[in-house]
Structure 1
């Protein structure tokens, strides 16, 4: 039994086909960067840019939820059927992710910008 078969809480169809909504979902990150670039060019760095970016991301979130509503509904039903197992997997996954992040931060050196910090003692 493979790891994915062991930890999944639901069975998926054997064949999953790529659809236009998947292409849209893949283009969300470049759209967010492009929107931020355009807003920054128009308004500079300001509250309007942050507000516009937040509204744009909210619209994209609603659009993705609407595009994937049938899949999300099906997955929610499967999640409720295996609630305790699914919840346990989510908690264990969060703990493992935090451990990986902590280990990675302890191994990597502290970042330096190449600039010296001003010293009071100089």
Structure 2
């Protein structure tokens, strides 16, 4: 089941290149873990003079079982050279580490071993 994706924009317009990046992120979200029930995505830019552009940020909060995973990435310009895509990919990579721990706590993530988290090898410490 696809998670509910809630997108909020702060100090930025929902431009087509941003919308495309969000669509790809939504597809990747299902592939990463089928047990994510909700994702809150905040895309924004720090308020600063127009001549300075401001720093862009992407914050994702993933909800799976009773857990919430928050990840933030900062980029100088999300509209330049796929920076949004890179930020969203980094968010998924960082979240996947935490999702693996949650999956082990729940003896699997409910996808029958078909997602990246369920099929990832267990990490053990020495």
Bigger strand share: 2
| Larger Rg belongs to | 1
Report if TM-score (shorter chain) is over 0.5: no
